[in-house]
């Protein structure tokens, strides 16, 4: 058992929607959410973060506040939603309801047009966690990342079928424990 935590970034500026490769900054509300999420916790020794600014800026601030070692890990970026980037689910329901439904029903079986296949996303995320696992297990650790990354890691931890990936909840600025198997 390890003391490793996942933290999803807070609310960002701009309208809601699919934002895999888009990189809006945290809003003032998002900053407040994240600070509140970690306020009562003991300090972390290692912080691993997506390099996207909605994760990295908070991770940099927290590492400086706590004297933690920080590493930005490119493989912890969010899923690339291709042509769906910047569009809301409500908007897509008007024009691409069948495609959106297929993605929600089984994200491994349907890739958004021009997007990253979830199998490739899973390979990159799981590969990064495997590479970092020995260091994550050495000390109290935090991974600051995105909803898709957290859903993937928790779905595997819970033993869910791949098609059930989107059944996992990953609200903004929520801390969730990640169990790492012994190396």
Domains with residue ranges and CATH for the chain:
4-178 (3.40.50.1240)
Backbone angles phi, psi at 79, to 5 degrees: -60, 140
SS3 176: strand
Distance between CA atoms of residues 18 and 182, nearest Å:
35
Q: β-strands 4-8, 46-49: how paired? A: unpaired
Tokens 């993605």: give the residue: 103
- Dihedral-angle region of residue 82 (phi above 0 means left; psi in -120 to 50 means alpha; beta otherwise): left
Q: What is the pLDDT of residues 8-67, one digit of tens each?
A: 999 999 988 999 999 999 999 999 999 999 999 999 999 999 999 999 999 999 999 999
> What is the CB neighbour count within 10 angstroms for residue 82?
15
Whole-structure pTM value? 0.95
Distance between CA atoms of residues 114 and 137, nearest Å:
36
Q: What is the pLDDT of residues 111-145, one digit of tens each?
A: 999 999 999 999 999 999 999 999 999 999 999 99
Distance between CA atoms of residues 157 and 140, nearest Å:
19
């Amino acid at each position: 058992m390890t003391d490793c935590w996942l933290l999803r970034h807070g609310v960002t500026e701009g309208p809601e929607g699919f934002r895999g490769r888009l990189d809006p900054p945290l809003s003032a509300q998002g900053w407040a959410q994240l600070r509140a999420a970690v306020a009562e916790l003991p300090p972390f020794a290692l912080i691993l973060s997506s390099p996207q600014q909605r994760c990295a800026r908070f991770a940099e601030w927290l590492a400086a506040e706590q004297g933690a070692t920080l590493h930005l890990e490119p493989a912890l970026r969010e899923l690339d939603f291709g042509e769906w980037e910047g569009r809301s689910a409500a908007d897509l329901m008007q024009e691409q309801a069948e495609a959106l439904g297929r993605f929600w029903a089984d994200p491994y079986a349907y890739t958004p047009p021009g997007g990253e296949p979830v199998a490739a996303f899973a390979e990159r995320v799981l590969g990064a966690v495997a590479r970092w696992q020995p260091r994550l297990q050495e000390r109290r650790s935090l991974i600051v990342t995105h909803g898709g990354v957290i859903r993937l890691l928790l779905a595997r931890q819970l033993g869910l079928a791949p098609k059930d990936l989107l059944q996992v909840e990953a609200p903004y600025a929520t801390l969730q424990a990640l169990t790492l198997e012994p190396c």
